[in-house]
Amino acid sequence: MTENRDPGGPVRQFTADLVGAAMAGAYDQVADALGVLARADAPHVPAEIVGELVGRCASAVRARRPADPGSIFTIVVADDQSRLVEVDRLPPGPLAALRALLASLGGDDASRDIQVELATRGRPEDVVGVVIHLLVWLVELSYSSETALPSLSCFTP
């Protein structure tokens, strides 16, 4: 008998648990999960997790800012003092994750997939940094005012 299983099921469950812990403020659980991710030996797993998180962030943006297909989304990057910063000053991983989010919002799945791949090409600690950014973005989007434009924090070295 053949079982019909979703091959992404374990990754989706891991991501759901990671998001649940982040939303609940269970930072020890988040840290433990990120440690597991950093030690993961399967190269496709980080890309699947980042892809899931990008999709969740895009859904959160769409929920507050519905747009017609073909709408163009833009971003403004500011530092913690609200001064404008060039987007290219972001670290490569979070920059690629931000571009993946914009591609997802624009319905460009091919570009989204390319940017997710680029976001997960670094060392394990770089990939963990990307996942942390996406988790922070998801929390920020979930708990910020629905009338305000989405604001996403980025952390630079």
- The parts of the chain modelled with pLDDT lower than 70 are 1-8, 69-70, 147-149, 156-157
Q: Is 55 within a domain?
A: yes
Count Cβ neighbours within 10 Å for each residue of 6-24 and write b for 16 or more, e otherwise: eeeeebeebbeebbebbee
pLDDT attached to residue 62: 85
Q: What residue type is 115 in one-letter code? A: Q
pLDDT attached to residue 34: 95
> How many domains is the chain built from?
1
Distance of alpha carbon 2 from alpha carbon 42, whole angstroms: 25
CA distances to 45, 47, 63 from 105, rounded to whole Å, are: 23, 18, 11
Q: Is 109 within a domain?
A: yes
Q: Is 153 within a domain?
A: no
Distance of alpha carbon 18 from alpha carbon 122, whole angstroms: 21
- Residues spanned by the domain of 93: 9-143
Q: Is 25 within a domain?
A: yes
pLDDT attached to residue 2: 40
pLDDT attached to residue 89: 82
